[in-house]
A and B are shown apart, each in its own frame.
Chain A
Amino acid sequence: MVGPLEKILGGLLLAIPAVLFLRMFLHGLQYSLGLKGLLQSGWTTTHWEAVFRSGVLLESMALSAVTALIVTMLSLVGAIVLIGTRFCYGAGKSLEAALLLALSTPAIVMAMLTRLWLEPGGLIARMLFWTGGISSPAEFPVLINDPYSLGLILCGVFCSLPFLALFFLRVWEANALHRYVSTAVLLGASPWQAVWRIALPMLWNRSRTLLVLIFLWNFSAWEGPLLVGQQSPRMISVLIADSTGEFSLADRPRSFTYSTTYFVLAAAGLAVLTRRGRHHVCRD
């Protein structure tokens, strides 16, 4: 029931992103196989072999995946605790305002704030100085660009948690979870028990897709890792951005090997995202 003119116009407009993304992928693939670029050598798989032999890409992917997984899980736990707080202690509008404020903070600013608080010369270190905890910045533990990604994980959680918690609040209200949980309390459950046993499974069922999205966002995050992440190994986006051949043209095929792998992974992520719950497609 869509007119032919609409189809043509929409199709043409769809062609803009489609062509850009497709050519972007093909360009990277050709570059990584030595078929493009100033220093092209003709068909070769040496760049791919070198990349997989060196292990840099695999390390980065593992780091990104583990970091994203930890961030997603911590955000989930945090969001559940906040929802529980709302139910058990009656936190209302102010909790929502707090979440909206946190959600309005862009990733770059969140990363900057992480630095500001946790740097050796940051706010916490200064407060410790005035309370007599430390006497110089050098005594403050390294929490930024650290090997355990503590700062990065914290930054990621602060970016993702408000999102998830607000989504939970919406689901809670849209499905009147309050009634179910209150009934459980009426029948003798403790408030936290009711949240855990009744609300959580219902929220979990409805938020799985969003959790996959949050995982994928954190997997590809760039601004945060750039400012507070560790240098070796680097998160995948930082690795790709750092290796684009700013210093040497000879590095470019390697960089495109990374990005081609990344796009394949992203497409796999998309497949996971859309395959999940295909059984209950519901269009009113």
Chain B
Amino acid sequence: MSVVTELHIPGKRQKPDTSGIVILLTVVMLILAPLLLLSGGTGWTWPALVPDRPGGMLWSAALSPDNELFGAMLTSLLLAGVTSITGTVSGLLISRATAAFSNPVPRMLLLFPWIVSPVVAGISMYDQLARAGLAGQMSGVVLAQLAFAAPLSAVVFQNLWSNRTRAMTRLVRDLGGSTTAVWRHVVWPAVRRIIPVCLLQTALFSWLDYGLVSTIGGGRVETVTVRLFALLREGGMNQAAVAALILMTPPLLLAVPLAILRLQLPDHVAGVSREIS
């Protein structure tokens, strides 16, 4: 290999990871420590640093089925599940259809949901969904989230339709293959490894969404984010900390294997930047 790796230049992994550990501990201190601290009890009067009545009561309450937070968790999970599956499937089909256009404008328009504020979109969509009887309903929230999730995944799938897949498709067609054969031999092998990424991305979008669910749900669809905001407004900091930790759990669970497998999270972002630039 190169000379550089043989010489001991200050570089990647030649020194102990002290600075990295310092940064990691700082981030844990700043993010996880206060949430864990506050969720471990009730009350937090000035100037105490720990909750007034320590104990795991909030956690056992949050995990009992008749709790509001527990119900919100189920709603969030249901929404995330439905949105991620419908969003990924329609994203895949949309990306196939837009790949057929030689004009780049439809592909550019797919990026619109990436930059538009969900809350402003939710407010502006409310009237048309209300006329269809979907406002304040799970179905309305799913539809609005789908309007975001489908283009989001279509953008990710977009990167797969290269000259190579085009040539492969032509090959399958020339050999007499049907659309089914194209899907089996070209589309499926190409998308197989991206589908989990897309499912997770759309599920996370739905799980963390507050703008759409709070406007279109109109207070009647109660997810973890809606619950968290309500708690923050009421000043129930301890319960809010529990809700915040619950909200953080899926992304964290996702981040851990990513860190171990070195499949870094912004993979799809890199994909998007490639798409744009």
Contacts and interface: CB of A to CB of B under 8 A. Distances in A.
A220 B117 contact: yes
A216 B115 contact: yes
Contact of A10 (B3, B11, B94, B128): B94
Nearest to A274: B108
Given A100-B258, A209-B277, A222-B117, A94 B112 contact: no
B116 A266 contact: yes
B99 interface: yes
B211 A209 contact: no
Contacts of A274: 104, 108, 111, 276
A24 B126 CA distance: 8
Given A16-B150, A27-B127, A117-B30, A240 B120 contact: yes
B63 interface: no
A241 B123 contact: yes
Given A17-B113, A166-B264, A222-B211, A89 B18 contact: yes
Q: Kindly name the residue among B121, B182, B225, B228 whose own CB sees the greatest number of chain A CB atoms within 10 A.
A: B121
A20 B10 contact: no
Contact of B19 (A3, A90, A107, A116): A90
A249 interface: no
A5 B256 CA distance: 40
B220 interface: no
A137 interface: yes
B144 interface: yes
Contacts of A102: 27, 31
Contacts of B18: 89
Nearest to B208: A106
Contacts of B258: 100
Interface stretch (A41-49, A53-61, A79-87, A144-152): A79-87
Contacts of A259: 120, 123-124
Contacts of A107: 208
B15 A90 contact: yes
Interface residues of A, number: 105
Interface string B15-47: 111111101101110111011001000000011
Contact of B259 (A96, A127, A207, A276): A96
B266 interface: yes
B241 to A, nearest CB: 8
Contacts of B146: 16-17
Contact of A277 (B19, B26, B277): B277
Q: Kindly name the residue among B162, B166, B265 whose own CB sees the greatest number of chain A CB atoms within 10 A.
A: B265
Contacts of B123: 240-241, 244, 255, 259
A241 B120 contact: yes
B114 A213 contact: yes
B162 A6 contact: no
Chain B contact-residue range equals: 35 or more
Nearest to A28: B124
A39 interface: no
Nearest to A215: B115
A167 B30 contact: no
25 contacts: A2-B96, A2-B100, A6-B96, A9-B93, A9-B97, A17-B147, A25-B124, A87-B12, A89-B19, A91-B20, A94-B21, A95-B19, A100-B264, A101-B24, A103-B255, A106-B247, A123-B49, A125-B47, A163-B266, A178-B12, A207-B273, A213-B115, A241-B119, A262-B117, A269-B115
Interface of B: 2-5, 7, 9-21, 23-24, 26-28, 30-32, 34-35, 38, 46-49, 90, 93-100, 104, 106, 108-109, 111-121, 123-125, 127-128, 143-144, 146-148, 150-151, 154, 162-164, 166, 169-170, 173, 179, 182, 208, 210-211, 215, 225, 228-229, 232, 237, 240, 244, 247-248, 251-252, 254-256, 258-259, 264-266, 269-270, 272-273, 276-277
Interface of A: 1-3, 5-7, 9-11, 13-14, 16-18, 20-21, 23-25, 27-28, 82, 85-98, 100-109, 112-113, 115-117, 121, 123, 125-127, 129-130, 137, 163, 166-167, 169-170, 178-179, 182-183, 185-186, 191, 206-210, 213, 216-217, 220-223, 227, 236-237, 240-241, 244, 255-256, 259, 262-263, 266-267, 269-270, 273-274, 276-277, 280, 283-284
The 6 closest A-B CB pairs, nearest first, are: A10-B97, A91-B20, A94-B20, A90-B15, A220-B117, A104-B251
